[in-house]
């Protein structure tokens, strides 16, 4: 593990529920992210990929392991310590559904300024910083007075991304950042994220679709049933997947030129995974 | 919020009516042309120059009694509403945030309040705290508080787990921030509607308690009390209940109007409504995207 | 041959050359605003073939499908061209005639399968109801046929699924149940409108494989609608690219993918090549 990592997760285990209904949703997951690196965390619904993100943000409690954020061991933190850590704005999160992750009653300007206001930045200064920021995410000033409901899907996603960036985070976790967008907007958002990465920000893409992050991720971590099935350089994971689930993922991602012969291979992999 | 309510014609009407009623409540006793308690031989008299609304069964001037009673009636209703707000809304919102124990206790307490027979509870509290309009209204407020608890809890629950609240938490926002900034606006409209209903119910409860000798003592006039006593002499003066009834109806109606206005302007629907009014003209020629053109 | 495929036509059927769904220069207008939304869509679908429609939301792809199903939303009307279903012009069909056609000639599955099922009725009973109404068979017979259908859509334990409620099933399983209901009365055409959009990518592949399998086994003709060109590329013989109600590109899938003529199609392809898996896959694979 490199020492300058923005985030280091080691042996992370998370349980949901209490006593007899206690379920393990994440088991012994280790992951480290350095500045300027983009990691794709891939897994199906219920694989624990969202839980991983929520644990790193302190929204769910880890039952074991270690989470080191910005040099601070955060497992065992109480609500107050978590709040102080989050307030520094080191890690930010972009929700899957930008419409629901923006308060419908707040204007774009208010939503964007919120993380700064929470940090205690004076209102006028926050507004100024928001304004100065718009350009980077291809938003225009006339959108500031609008409500989320009055924006297009692409604009909304860019506002959601912008909201996560105003605090100059070192790590941004994005949950399915482009799956709801159409092609033109998807390319635009991915372009913005690429520039961000070039500025040294670490990115984590969470997705069920290997294909949607293949072109942007340096490394890929595949979660399957709460455990890390496979991790490695994107090229290696895609070209030579080791775990059967990863193989199924690669074979399932729709590509323009995949042959129908894949069908038989997929069936074989499914049979293998379900036994 | 205030400005947006006033931008609506209904909001303006409601605020105007309520302002007049508040004025009545403040100035009522001085405006009363005669002593509201003074009896005369002219019982159940028709409206005339000296008694604009006639006299009641003891020959007291009805107009004076209405004006004099307005303060107690309005203050009573306000007290009911305020008590319900404090006892109902605050725990209702907090029950979502303060953990399992608090949630369980407040839920069971509201269940208990709902199960209590109203009159029995009222009599018991009055026996304990002494008889008076304040005590009676306090009781009423506590008894209607479960409604407020439920309404505010439901509204809070609906936003508590929304991604934008989590987004605020992830930015390091405190619970107080979340409630002030995100929850309150969504909880307010349903509470306003419940509040408007409660004010109306308050008048009626004041009068029914008066009937039992709880709260306001008989010679002192209230709107509800006037309505109740007038109803006893319908055969002699069929039009008499009109004046107090009208006052109650207009007040309740104004409260409901205000609640509707608050509901209309809050939330995204409200903003859209106002915006569409403002922008309808300049957007008319600008084509909207097809509503059902694709998935 | 399973009993299911006997109910449907086999690809060897003599009607192979005859189109089951023929859409000719169809135009759809929003009567409330007096605007034309779809400006002429044409395609021909024969048994066992698949047509794909690609476009963003608002491109008119869903409206086109709804027109073929006779379920256009209020104020929307077909204002030009013709749609023929199994050789029959659909203009002027009565509601009763539509009811007869839907399910037994043309059928559809959509995004968000849960919203098409009643959460308080067992899913099996809901599929059985379709069979009872459409085929006029008894309860016991309908149940047997439903189990068969649930098996045909590759649900692992049909008997168990029959007695379950929507909340007990995953999105992929619900979509399978809906596909079972859609093919219950042996339609000739099945429209899959963004039917896999909300699903995990592995589940999406399962559903797409299932559709391909049904098509190959029973000669069902498919219309696959998606915003994702790659999804359509998986199983379609012909592709239409729709943009703002206009068909900007149309042709055999292979042609469109390799020699896109319109700039928008090129954007769709470039996006996949730049950001998708295609970048890592060897070019030999597409031969």
Distances (CA, A) of C234 to A252, B255, C107, C286: 10, 61, 21, 11
For chain A, the helix, strand and coil percentages under 3-state DSSP, each to the nearest 5: 40, 25, 35
Q: B181–A114: do the CB atoms touch at under 8 Å?
A: yes
Instruction: Give contacts of C193 with chain B, Cβ < 8 Å.
Output: 295
Q: A86–B186: do the CB atoms touch at under 8 Å?
A: no
ipTM of the complex: 0.85
- How many Å apart are CA A102 and CA C261, to the nearest integer? 39
Q: Is the pLDDT of residue C146 over 60?
A: yes
Q: Which pLDDT belongs to residue A201? A: 92
In this structure, of A100-114, B195-209, C52-66, C239-253, the range with the lowest mean pLDDT score is: B195-209
Among C21, C185, C222, C19, which Cα is nearest to C103's? C185
Q: A87–B172: do the CB atoms touch at under 8 Å?
A: yes
Q: Which pLDDT belongs to residue B45? A: 67
Q: Which pLDDT belongs to residue C14? A: 44
- How many Å apart are CA C259 and CA C266, to the nearest integer? 9
Chain A interface, best mutation among B97, B98, B170, by max A CB count within 10 A: B170
Q: Which pLDDT belongs to residue A116? A: 93
Q: B295–C197: do the CB atoms touch at under 8 Å?
A: yes
In this structure, of A7-11, A103-107, B34-38, C1-5, the range with the lowest mean pLDDT score is: C1-5
- How many Å apart are CA A93 and CA B236, to the nearest integer? 75
Q: C63–B294: do the CB atoms touch at under 8 Å?
A: yes
> Can you tell me whether residue A265 is helix, strand or coil?
helix
Q: Are A217 and A39 in contact (CB under 8 A)?
A: yes
Task: At A244, give phi and psi (nearest 5°).
Answer: -55, -35
B 270-289 residues inside an 8 A Cβ radius of A: 271-272, 275
- How many Å apart are CA A41 and CA A49, to the nearest integer? 7
- How many Å apart are CA C162 and CA C176, to the nearest integer? 12
Average pLDDT over residues A4-24: 88
Q: A105–B268: do the CB atoms touch at under 8 Å?
A: yes
Q: Write the pLDDT tens digit of every residue in B101-143.
A: 999 999 999 998 888 887 788 788 888 887 777 787 888 888 8
Contacts of C128 (CB under 8 A, 6+ apart): C139, C142, C143, C145, C146
Q: C225–B295: do the CB atoms touch at under 8 Å?
A: yes
| HSE of A10, CA atoms in CB hemisphere, 13 A | 9
B 244-273 residues inside an 8 A Cβ radius of A: 266-268, 271-272
Chain B interface, best mutation among A101, A155, A160, by max B CB count within 10 A: A101
Q: Is the pLDDT of residue C168 over 80?
A: yes
Q: Which pLDDT belongs to residue C17? A: 58
Chains near A (3 or more Cβ pairs under 8 Å)? B, C
Task: At A164, give phi and psi (nearest 5°).
Answer: -75, -15
Q: Which pLDDT belongs to residue A122? A: 93
Torsion of CA A40, C224, A153, A214, to 10 degrees: 20
| pTM for the whole structure | 0.78
- How many Å apart are CA C219 and CA C188, to the nearest integer? 8
Residue carrying the six token digits 């899957």: A96
| HSE of A25, CA atoms in CB hemisphere, 13 A | 24
More confident residue, C234 or C265: C265
- How many Å apart are CA B207 and CA C177, to the nearest integer? 61
Tell me how many helices (H) and strands (E) chain A has.
Answer: 10, 10
Torsion of CA B55, B60, B66, B72, to 10 degrees: -160
Pairing of strands C106-109, A91-94: unpaired
Q: Which pLDDT belongs to residue C124? A: 93
Strand ranges in chain B using DSSP code E only, listed in sequence order: none
- How many Å apart are CA B225 and CA B219, to the nearest integer? 9
Spell out a b/e string for A32-49, using b for 16 or more CB atoms within 10 Å of the CB, else e: bbbebbbbbbbbbeebbb
Q: Low-confidence residues of chain B, pLDDT below 70? A: 1, 37-41, 43-47, 49-52, 57, 200, 204, 206-207, 210-213, 215-218, 266-295
Q: How distant is the Cα of A239 from the closest Cα of chain B, in angstroms? A: 34
Q: B293–C57: do the CB atoms touch at under 8 Å?
A: yes
Chain A interface, best mutation among C276, C282, C287, by max A CB count within 10 A: C276
Q: Which pLDDT belongs to residue A108? A: 92
Q: B294–C35: do the CB atoms touch at under 8 Å?
A: no
Candidates C201, C235, C273; nearest CB to A210: C201
* Mean pLDDT, chain A, integer: 87
Pairing of strands A219-224, A227-233: antiparallel
In this structure, of A105-109, A185-189, C76-80, the range with the lowest mean pLDDT score is: A185-189
Q: Which pLDDT belongs to residue C249? A: 94
Candidates C55, C63, C197; nearest CB to B292: C63
Average pLDDT over residues C271-275: 81
Q: Which pLDDT belongs to residue B248? A: 82
What structural domains and CATH numbers belong to chain B? 2-40+51-281 (1.10.3720.10)
- How many Å apart are CA B62 and CA B65, to the nearest integer? 5
Chain B interface, best mutation among C36, C57, C61, C77, by max B CB count within 10 A: C57
- How many Å apart are CA B137 and CA B132, to the nearest integer? 9
Extract the tokens encoding C221.
């003709």
Spell out a b/e string for C112-127, using b for 16 or more CB atoms within 10 Å of the CB, else e: ebeebbeeeebbbbbb
Check residue A134 and report its DSSP letter: G
Q: B171–A87: do the CB atoms touch at under 8 Å?
A: yes
Residue carrying the six token digits 């292979």: C254
Contacts of C257 (CB under 8 A, 6+ apart): A256, A257, C229, C233, C239, C269
Average pLDDT over residues C165-172: 90
The three-state DSSP-derived secondary structure of C144-186 is HHHHHHHHHCCCCCHHHHHCCCHHHCCHHHHHHHHHHHHHCCC
- How many Å apart are CA A31 and CA A27, to the nearest integer? 12
Q: Are B185 and B267 in contact (CB under 8 A)?
A: yes
- How many Å apart are CA B113 and CA B142, to the nearest integer? 8
- CB-defined contacts A:C, below 8 A: 117
Q: How distant is the Cα of C269 from the closest Cα of chain A, in angstroms? A: 8
Check residue C278 and report its DSSP letter: G
Among B10, B56, B83, B53, which Cα is nearest to B264's? B10
Q: Is the pLDDT of residue A71 over 90?
A: no
Torsion of CA C253, C258, C263, C268, to 10 degrees: 70
Instruction: Give contacts of B164 with chain A, Cβ < 8 Å.
Output: 100-103, 111
Candidates B174, B185, B272; nearest CB to A83: B174
Q: Which pLDDT belongs to residue B216? A: 66
Q: Which pLDDT belongs to residue B211? A: 63
Residues belonging to chain A with any Cβ–Cβ distance to chain C shorter than 8 Å: 44-45, 153, 182-184, 186-187, 190, 208-212, 214-216, 234-235, 238-239, 248-260, 263, 266-267, 270, 274
Confidence of residue C28 (pLDDT cuts 50, 70, 90): very high
| A118-122, B23-27, C1-5: which is most confident | A118-122
State whether residue C64 sits within 8 Å of chain B by CB: no
Candidates B287, B289, B293; nearest CB to C63: B293
Q: Which pLDDT belongs to residue B286? A: 41
State whether residue C260 sits within 8 Å of chain B by CB: no
Sheet containing C76-85: which strands, arranged edge to edge?
Answer: C35-45, C21-30, C76-85, C88-89
* Mean pLDDT, chain C, integer: 87
């Amino acid at each position: 593990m490199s020492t300058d990592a923005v985030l280091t997760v080691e042996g992370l285990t998370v349980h949901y529920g209490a006593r007899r209904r206690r379920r393990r949703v994440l088991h012994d997951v280790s992951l480290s992210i350095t500045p300027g690196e983009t990691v794709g965390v891939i897994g199906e619904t219920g694989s624990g990929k969202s839980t991983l993100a929520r644990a790193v943000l302190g929204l769910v409690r880890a039952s074991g392991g270690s989470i080191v954020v910005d040099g601070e061991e955060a497992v065992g933190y109480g609500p107050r310590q978590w709040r102080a850590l989050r307030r520094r704005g080191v890690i930010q999160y972009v929700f899957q559904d930008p419409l629901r992750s923006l308060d419908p009653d707040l204007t774009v300007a208010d939503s964007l300024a919120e993380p700064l206001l929470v940090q205690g930045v004076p209102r006028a200064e926050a507004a100024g910083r928001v304004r100065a920021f718009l350009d980077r995410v291809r938003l225009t000033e006339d959108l500031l007075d609008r409500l989320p409901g009055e924006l297009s899907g692409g604009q909304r996603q860019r506002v959601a991304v912008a909201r996560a960036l105003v605090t100059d985070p070192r790590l941004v976790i994005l949950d399915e950042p482009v799956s709801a967008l159409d092609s033109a907007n998807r390319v635009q958002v991915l372009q913005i994220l690429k520039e961000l990465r070039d500025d040294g920000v670490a990115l984590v893409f969470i997705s069920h679709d290997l294909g949607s992050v293949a072109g942007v991720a340096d490394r890929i971590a595949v979660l399957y049933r709460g455990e890390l099935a496979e991790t490695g350089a994107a090229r290696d994971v895609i070209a030579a997947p080791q775990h059967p689930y990863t193989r199924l993922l690669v074979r399932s991602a729709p590509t323009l030129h995949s042959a129908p012969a894949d069908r038989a291979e997929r069936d074989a992999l499914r049979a293998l995974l379900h036994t | 919020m205030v400005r947006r309510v006033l931008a609506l014609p209904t909001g303006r009407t409601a605020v105007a009516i309520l302002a007049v009623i508040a004025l009545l409540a403040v100035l009522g006793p001085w405006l009363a042309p005669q002593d509201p308690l003074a009896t005369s031989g002219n019982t159940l008299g028709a409206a005339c120059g000296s008694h604009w609304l006639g006299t009641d069964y003891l020959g007291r001037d009805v107009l004076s009694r209405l004006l004099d009673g307005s303060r107690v009636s309005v203050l009573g209703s306000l007290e009911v509403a305020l008590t319900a707000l404090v006892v109902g809304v605050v725990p209702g919102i907090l029950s979502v945030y303060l953990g399992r124990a608090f949630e369980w206790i407040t839920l069971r307490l509201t269940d208990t309040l709902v199960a209590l027979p109203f009159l029995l509870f009222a009599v018991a509290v009055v026996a304990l705290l002494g008889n008076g309009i304040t005590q009676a209204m306090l009781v009423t407020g506590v008894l209607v508080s479960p409604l407020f608890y439920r309404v505010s809890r439901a509204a809070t629950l609906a936003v508590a787990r929304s991604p934008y609240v989590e987004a605020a938490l992830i930015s390091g926002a405190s619970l107080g921030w979340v409630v002030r900034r995100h929850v309150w606006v969504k909880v307010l409209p349903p509470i306003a509607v419940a509040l408007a209903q409660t004010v109306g119910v308050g008048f009626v409860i004041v009068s029914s308690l008066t009937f039992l000798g709880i709260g306001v003592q008989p010679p002192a006039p209230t709107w509800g009390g006037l309505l109740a006593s007038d109803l006893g002499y319908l055969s002699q003066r069929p039009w008499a209940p009109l004046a107090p009834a009208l006052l109650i109806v207009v007040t309740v109606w104004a409260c409901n109007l205000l609640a509707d206005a608050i509901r209309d302007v809050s939330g995204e629907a409200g903003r859209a409504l106002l915006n569409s009014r403002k922008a309808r003209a300049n957007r008319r020629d600008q084509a909207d995207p097809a509503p059902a053109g694709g998935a | 041959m399973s009993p299911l495929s006997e109910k449907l036509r086999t690809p060897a059927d003599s009607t192979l050359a005859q189109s089951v769904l023929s859409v000719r220069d169809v135009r759809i207008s929003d009567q409330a605003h007096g605007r034309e939304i779809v400006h002429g869509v044409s395609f021909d679908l024969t048994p066992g073939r698949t047509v794909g429609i690609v476009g963003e939301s608002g491109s008119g792809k869903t409206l086109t499908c709804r027109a073929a199903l006779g379920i256009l939303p209020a104020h929307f009307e077909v204002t030009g061209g013709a749609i023929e279903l199994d050789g029959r012009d659909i203009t002027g069909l009565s509601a009763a005639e539509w009811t007869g056609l839907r399910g037994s000639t043309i059928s559809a599955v959509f995004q968000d399968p849960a919203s098409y099922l009643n959460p308080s009725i067992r899913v099996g009973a809901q599929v059985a109801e379709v069979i009872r109404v459409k085929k006029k068979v008894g309860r016991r017979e309908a149940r047997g046929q439903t189990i068969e259908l649930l098996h045909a859509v590759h649900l692992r334990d049909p008997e168990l699924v029959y007695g379950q409620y929507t909340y007990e099933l995953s999105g992929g399983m619900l979509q399978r149940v809906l596909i079972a209901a859609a093919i219950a009365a042996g339609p000739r055409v099945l429209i899959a409108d963004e039917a896999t959009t909300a699903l995990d990518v592995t589940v999406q592949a399962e559903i797409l494989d299932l559709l391909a399998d049904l098509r190959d086994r029973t000669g069902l003709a498919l219309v696959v609608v998606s915003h994702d060109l790659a999804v359509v590329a998986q199983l379609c013989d012909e592709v239409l690219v729709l943009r703002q109600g206009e068909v900007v590109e149309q042709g055999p899938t292979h042609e469109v993918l390799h020699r896109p003529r319109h700039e928008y199609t090129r954007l769709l392809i470039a996006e996949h090549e730049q950001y998708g898996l295609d970048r890592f896959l060897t070019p030999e694979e597409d031969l």
